[in-house]
Structure 1
Amino acid sequence: MSTIADFNRTSNADTDREHEVQLGLLQALCSAAAEHRDAAAVGEILGQLIAYSEAHFMSEELLMRLKSYDDYEDHVDDHIHMLDVLHDIATDHAAGNSALVSGKAAEALNFVTNHIDTRDRRFADYVRNGL
C-alpha cells in the first residue's frame, strides 16, 4: 500500500499540500477499515474524503481549463473514476459490507498515488513551463 512518503511532489506547494491531505484521509480510511473501527468512525473519514476530493478535483479542473491544458479530458477521467470508487466504497459501507471497504480503499490509495505521480506531475510541468 502506498503512503504519503511514497508520493512525489509536483513542485506546486499548494497542490502538494492538497495531495497530502487527500492521501492522509485515504490512509486514515485504510487504517480504520483494516482495524475494524466502528461504522461511524469509518463513515466520518469516508465523508470527509469524498467532500475533500470533490473540492480538490473541481479546483484542479478549473485551473486546467484556465490553462487550456491539452490532457484535460484524460485527467478528468481519472477524477471521475476516483470519485466513482469512493462512492462505491460509501455504498458498500452503508450496506454493512465492511470487508470490502479495506481492499477498495487500498486500491484507491494506490490509484491516487499513481495519478499524482503521473497526471498531476505532467500538469504541474505544463504550468511551470508556461505551456
Structure 2
Amino acid sequence: MYTLLFVDDERDILDSMQRTFRRGYKTLVANSGTEALELINSTPVDLIISDQRMPDLGGDVVLQHALANQPEAIRILLTGYADMESLVRCVNDAQIYKYIAKPWEPEDLRLTVVRALESLELTRKLLTPTSP
C-alpha cells in the first residue's frame, strides 16, 4: 500500500484529497510546511502533494526537503498561485514530477497520482537487483 502525504493550510483541500484517495492508499496530512517537514523526517512516504503558498514554509521548501530526505518520493506541486519564478525554482531545485493548478479536476489528480506511482514502481523494479 502506498503512503501519500498531502500538505496544505486549507482544511477543505486536505479533506478533498483524502476523499479522492480514501481507498487503496494510506494518507497523511500536514496543515503547514513545518508539520510536513516533521512527517518527512519521521515517516517514509511514496508521494507528496504540496501547496505552494502557505503561511510558514512554501511548497518549494517542503519539496526540496523531501528530495534531500526521501529522494525516491514523487513530488507534486499544487497551487492556485502561478508565480513563474517560484515554479521554475521548484521544478529545478525540488525536481517535481508535475505542477497542478488549482482548482483541479479530481479525476485528473487521481490519474496523475496513479501514473506517478506506476513510474515509481517501475523505477524500483529496475533498481532492484535480481537473483541469478
User: Could you say which TM-score interval applies, normalised by the shorter chain?
Assistant: 0.3 to 0.5
TM-score (norm 1): 0.35
TM-score, length basis structure 2 = 0.35
Higher relative contact order (CA 8 A, sep 6+): 1
* Larger strand percent: 2
Larger radius of gyration: 1
